[in-house]
Chain A
Amino acid sequence: MQGHFHLHDAGHHDHSHDDDHSANHSLVFRKGLPPEEARSASRKALRLALVLTLCFAGVEAVAGVMTGSLALLSDAGHMVTDSASLLLALLSAVFGNRPADARHSYGHGRTEVIAALVNSLIMLALILYIAVEAVARLLHPEPVNGAGVMVVAVLGLLVNVLAAWILSRGAHTLNSRAALLHVMGDLLGSVAAILAGAIIYATGWTAADPILSMGVCLLILRSTWHLLRQSLLVLMEGVPEHLDYYAIGRALAEVEGVVSVHDLHVWAMSSDHVALSAHLQVGTPEAWPRILAACQALLSRRFAIDHVTLQAEWPLARTADAAATVPVISPDQSA
């Protein structure tokens, strides 16, 4: 049954090596690491960054008490919230690694996605708080010790640069990307604080502090929004962004022996595993084992979907009349 309309030319059929470029869009293969190694690298990076920020928070708190500086103490508080979000990411990376059981038939991979969601919500709350504070400062300027702010900010910058570097080396999952985002936000905050301190020290213009804070807020807001959308996409069982629903449907319908495809579902089980289920109308029962193998090979090679459930159906007499209640994807359907 090779009478199908082909959108790709014949050379691109499923056994060709040209298909490998599609797999490059997947989260897993982009970094060239298998999921397990990527996860383990993420965990190590998270652990290191956590120890680093906690230690710095301790140093800052002690220095704050000794010098009586409120700025130092409040920054220590900020670093503690950073450590908390890193801890959240680390815990979920550890729990997310537990295997599937009778209560969790897909494993615990989604713990990470939920941690990313919670982390991005906390970030949104933090952004809102800083924005409100900045407006209040603009309306009622407060005296700022420019030199003191600069010293603390430079120290904070060093710690955050180190933490960001550690995390970016291990950032392979949605979860550790969320943690990296948090640290990047802090890093920008430190840079802004250094700038603000320098401006205030040089010119005495205190409004520089809240204005720069708001600029940083806008930057963090952009990436936080993206992360929030991505984690919601996974939790709402949406089709992963790098995959095209109609392209997958057409590719399945083009497999020799498949008449049509319906009830196609593609969703991410965790940040690095994609699942698919679909119903295929096939010509004859005898051809099913071959069709199944061909479809599995196609999905795995071209779309990097390795968790597949395909239900075979044959067109019977009763399918002749009633209107279709489900979208049916045939090879000639356009997106």
Chain B
Amino acid sequence: MGHAHTHPHGHTPDHDHGHGGHHHPAPTDFGRAFVLAILLNTGFVATEFAFGLAANSTALIADAGHNLSDVLGLLLAWGAAWLARRTSTSRYTYGLRSSSILAALANAIFLLVACGGIAWEAVMRFTAPPAVAAGTVMAVAAVGIIINGFSAWLFFKGSKGDLNIRGAYLHMAADAAVSLGVVVTGALISFTHWFWLDPAISLAIVAVIVAGTWGLLRESLQLALSGVPPQLDHTAVARYLAEQPGVHSIHDLHIWGMSTTENALTAHLVMPEGHPGDAFLDRLTHTLEEEFGIHHATFQVEMSVLHQQCALHVARTGH
């Protein structure tokens, strides 16, 4: 059954969707950024741990433990980016690409839990006498700013388009901010001896991180719920489809994210004059990819206006 034609979506993630010249750039491969960031952070953790043991400093060992969680966050995002490229099977018919959505969600939850821990500790320090950062801790924090800041920069380019990369970016940027807080408070307290500065600055940093992570949490949750991807306008797509010649109305329009970078669509088109043929559907799929960034579209053409209702009682969009 030799069956191949030019319609622009395939089963295999490796299958080229005809990316040449369309307005949505193909997702960049962040493999090198991941390797570099993971190596740097692992090296940092090992060094911190070794120095912590040598200097018998619990603070350093604790910080090493925290930075280990960064390595885990990076591994998570990298693993998902790798899984997303695997081919589909008869069990996972879309491949494993939605792991990138779960990784972004997990990174958001990780960050928020960490923020909760820091905030709790900061509040405790308002009442108990705070431990001022010693010279070693400040020096380590300074190195942390450089390593985490550099790692964050590696992912900055992809942080706009790919939620999974944004998760890695935010994780690194948040760590750089925390390290910066340690250095600044250490310096300020040694001049002013205002010990309340330490928890106050911690709380301020937590507030900034939570504000930055909130969007990541919301968007990754929306994707995980099979919601319409944030950059897509459900109504605009519905209007475009309903305006096509021969289309009486449309219903059962679903748009969802297969991964953090690829979107799918299914819709039922009511065309009383009959099925318009492959060329018409090919044109629709092409335009949806070019104009809306929807990579995998399936249309059901129906002739009768009174057709069976969507099982989910979806609001009709054929207006």
Chain B residues with Cβ below 8 Å from A323 are 2, 4
A19 CB-CB contact with B under 8 Å: no
Contact between A328 and B314, CB atoms less than 8 A apart: no
Interface size, chain A (Cβ < 8 Å): 67
| Distance A321 CA – B3 CA, assembled complex (angstroms) | 8
Residues of A within 8 A of B99 (CB): 236
Q: Does A107 contact B (CB under 8 A)?
A: yes
B129 interfacial contact with A, CB 8 Å? no
Chain A stretch 93-116: residues in CB contact (< 8 A) with chain B: 99-108, 110-111, 114
A101 vs B4: C-alpha distance when bound (angstroms): 36
Q: In the complex, A187→B266 CA distance in Å?
A: 45
Binds B, one of A51-59, A178-186, A219-227, A262-270: A262-270
* B-facing residues in A238-278 (Cβ within 8 Å): 238-239, 245-246, 259-260, 262-267, 269, 273, 275, 277-278
Asked if B235 is an interface residue, CB under 8 A from chain A, the answer is: yes
Q: How far is it, in angstroms, between the C-alpha of A278 and the C-alpha of B300 when the chains are bound?
A: 9
**SS of A interface (majority):** mixed
The reply to whether A260 and B3 form a contact with Cβ atoms under 8 Å apart is: yes
Chain A nearest CB from B13 CB (Å) reads 12
B1-15 Cβ-contact flags toward A at 8 Å (1 or 0) = 111111101111001
Contact with A along B288-317 (1 / 0, CB 8 A): 000000000011111110001011111101
- Chain B residue with minimal CB distance to A288? B275
Minimum CB–CB distance for A85 against chain B, Å: 15
B224 interface neighbour in A99, A110, A306, A327, Cβ under 8 Å: A110
Question: Whole-angstrom distance between the alpha carbons of A321 and B2 in the complex?
Answer: 7
Q: Does A318 contact B (CB under 8 A)?
A: yes
Do A306 and B225 form a contact, CB below 8 Å, given A277-B298, A325-B10?
no
Task: Give A128 Cβ to nearest chain B Cβ, in Å.
Answer: 15
Number of B residues, CB within 8 Å of A: 61
For B98, list chain A residues within 8 Å (CB). 235-237
Known: A103-B222, A103-B227, A312-B275. A324 touches B312 (CB 8 A): no
Q: Contact: B298 with A324, CB < 8 Å? A: no
Establish whether residues A236 and B92, one from each chain, have CB atoms under 8 Å apart when the complex forms: yes
In contact, A235 and B102 (Cβ under 8 angstroms): yes
| Contact status of A114 and B221, CB under 8 A, knowing A236-B98, A236-B99, A239-B91 | yes
Q: Is B256 an interface residue (CB 8 A)?
A: yes
The yes or no answer to A202 lying at the interface (CB within 8 A) is no
Interface residue? B254 (CB, 8 A):
yes
Q: Is B21 an interface residue (CB 8 A)?
A: no
> Assuming A312-B275, A324-B3, A324-B4, is B256 touching A105 (CB within 8 A)?
yes
Report how far A312 CA is from B312 CA in the complex, Å: 23
Q: Are B94 and A237 in contact (CB under 8 A)?
A: yes
B277 within 8 A of A: yes
Asked if A328 contacts B3 (CB within 8 A), the reply is yes
Known contacts: A238-B92, A318-B5, A319-B3. The answer to whether A104 contacts B10 by CB under 8 A is: no
Asked whether A311 lies within 8 Å of B315 as measured between CB atoms, the reply is: no
Known: A235-B102, A263-B9. A100 touches B315 (CB 8 A): yes
CB of A281 within 8 Å of the partner chain: yes
B91 adjacent to A245 (CB under 8 Å): yes
**Considering only CB atoms, which chain A residue lies closest to B238 in the complex?**
A102
Contacts of A265 in B (CB 8 A): 93-94
Does B226 make an interface contact (CB < 8 A)? Answer: yes
* Contact of B298 with A309 in the complex, beta carbons under 8 Å: yes
Residues of A within 8 A of B231 (CB): none
Q: How far is the CB of A40 from chain B (nearest CB, A)?
A: 16
- Cβ of A288: which chain B residues have Cβ within 8 Å of it? 274-275, 301, 303
Contacts of B90 in A (CB 8 A): 239, 245-246, 335
Residue interface bits A303-314, CB-to-B below 8 A is 1, else 0: 000111111111
- On whether the beta carbons of B3 and A239 are closer than 8 Å, the reply is no
Judge whether A296 is part of the interface by a CB distance below 8 angstroms: yes
The answer to whether the Cβ of A10 comes within 8 Å of any Cβ in the partner chain is no
Given contacts A259-B1, A319-B3, 11 further A-B contacts (CB under 8 A): A104-B226, A106-B226, A106-B256, A107-B312, A114-B225, A288-B275, A309-B252, A311-B281, A315-B3, A323-B4, A326-B4
Pairs A–B under 8 Å by Cβ, sample size 15:
A99-B315, A106-B312, A114-B105, A237-B98, A266-B93, A275-B266, A289-B304, A292-B302, A307-B310, A307-B311, A319-B3, A321-B2, A326-B3, A327-B11, A330-B1
